[in-house]
């Protein structure tokens, strides 16, 4: 597995599209969550069909085609800097084949945030668009509305992702010792298992760091999903596993025994209770990026921040530029704009590009750390 393209980080004033690809929710819950986003300086907007309900199926938020149209419009519209699912439930898989992924491909990558049923969208965006995403809490989820810690971790990941580049949840424990590096992917076990045999089925997970969590699935059902995935060769090549929460799945001793039985003999490090999923608080974790899992220490360290820092944001926040990596679209490099003098005039004046030998190309970005220019001595 190779790292995917990273979207840019958000800034105050960005418009964010809220979509409902899964189940319905009370409008007041969405409004409460959007109020949190507004408090960060964002401008969230519910897409046209977000508050609808399916005419015949009460567990769906609107018709399949309408939900697909909302998602495609939100991703394709450059006016929106990010797309976030309002809540989970069920229904995302029903709309995936109604999305015109080829029409969405030319759009600039943008952060997509969600979890639970959104696992299906994480997989689709990764495999069809090659863009990294964020496995994190959603605005109409009541546990997000009520938990300041979950809110703050998502906010930092969106605005200051270098602060969440290393995840060290206090609850993390070693299930199988060891360390491994790879590209993160995963989500809800039931959605990953349901994707086998579809266009979103993973054919090769060689070099992957797998994230797994679930809600309201008894131990024998988890066993069934994991056994299906094992028989399909789905775990072949996985380098490490981080296990999140198992809310309402039954006694954890039984769940732990099932996980150890189905995953413990894969020969890879496994860390449990890593603090993501349907728990409180819930971490936001990038999917599709290179990271190192240390099951002994209970940490997940990403090689790069989840979202890159474009030149336009440097103009908005020059005072922070010296400690953050600069991301330049690789197309500038291909056109020959690869010397410090070619781009320095676009940087805030107190900073210069670091020497060329320390640059690094990641995906479609040239990452160049900045260094402060030496201060000139005054007269005398």
User: Which residues carry out catalysis?
Assistant: 116, 213, 278
What's the token pair of residue 194?
């349901």
Distance CA 317, CA 324 (A): 11
What's the token pair of residue 99?
């999305």
Q: Give the helix, strand, coil percentages of the chain, each rounded to 5.
A: 35, 25, 40
Distance CA 291, CA 337 (A): 30
End-to-end CA distance of the chain: give it in Å, rounded: 59
What residues contact residue 194 under an 8 Å CB cut-off, 6+ apart?
Answer: 93, 120
User: Three-state SS string across 76-110, please?
Assistant: HCCCCCEEEECCCCCCHHHHHHHCCHHHHCCCCCC
How many of the other CB atoms lie within 10 Å of CB of 310? 18
* Of 300, 202, 304, residue with least CA distance to 243: 300
Q: Which helix (H) or strand (E) holds 15?
A: strand 15-19
Distance CA 241, CA 186 (A): 10
For β-strands 208-215 and 179-188, DSSP reports them as parallel
What residues contact residue 162 under an 8 Å CB cut-off, 6+ apart?
Answer: 305, 323, 324
């Amino acid at each position: 597995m190779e790292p995917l393209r990273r979207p840019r980080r958000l800034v105050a004033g960005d418009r964010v599209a809220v979509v409902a690809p899964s189940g319905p929710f009370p409008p007041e819950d969405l409004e409460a969550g959007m109020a949190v986003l507004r408090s960060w300086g964002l401008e969230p907007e519910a897409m046209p069909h977000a508050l609808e309900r399916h005419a015949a199926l009460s567990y769906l938020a609107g018709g399949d085609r309408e939900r697909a149209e909302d998602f495609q419009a939100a991703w394709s519209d450059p006016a929106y800097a990010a797309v976030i699912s309002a809540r989970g439930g069920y229904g995302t898989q029903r709309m995936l084949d109604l999305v015109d992924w080829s029409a969405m491909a030319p759009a600039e990558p943008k952060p997509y945030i969600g979890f639970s049923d959104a696992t299906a969208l994480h997989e689709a965006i990764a495999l069809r668009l090659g863009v990294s995403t964020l496995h994190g809490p959603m605005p109409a989820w009541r546990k997000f509305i009520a938990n300041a810690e979950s809110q703050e971790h998502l906010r930092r990941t969106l605005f200051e992702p270098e602060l969440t580049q290393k995840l060290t949840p206090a609850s993390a424990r070693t299930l199988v010792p060891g360390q491994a590096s790879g590209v993160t992917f995963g989500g809800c076990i039931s959605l990953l298992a349901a994707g086998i045999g579809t266009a979103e089925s993973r054919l090769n997970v060689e070099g992957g760091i797998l994230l797994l969590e679930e809600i309201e699935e008894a131990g024998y059902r988890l066993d069934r999903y994991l056994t299906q995935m094992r028989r399909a060769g789905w775990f072949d090549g996985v380098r490490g596993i981080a296990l999140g929460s198992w809310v309402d799945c039954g006694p954890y001793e039984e769940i732990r025994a099932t996980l150890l039985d189905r995953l413990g003999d894969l020969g890879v490090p496994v860390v449990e209770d890593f603090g993501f999923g349907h728990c409180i608080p819930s971490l936001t974790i990038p999917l599709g990026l290179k990271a190192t899992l240390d099951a002994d220490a209970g940490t997940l360290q990403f090689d790069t921040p989840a979202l890159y820092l474009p030149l336009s944001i440097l103009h908005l926040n020059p005072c922070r530029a010296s400690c953050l990596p600069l991301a330049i679209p690789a197309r500038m490099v291909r056109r020959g704009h690869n010397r410090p003098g070619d781009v320095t005039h676009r940087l805030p004046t107190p900073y210069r590009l670091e020497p060329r030998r320390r640059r690094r190309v990641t995906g479609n970005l040239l990452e160049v750390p900045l260094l402060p220019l030496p201060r000139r001595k005054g007269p005398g």
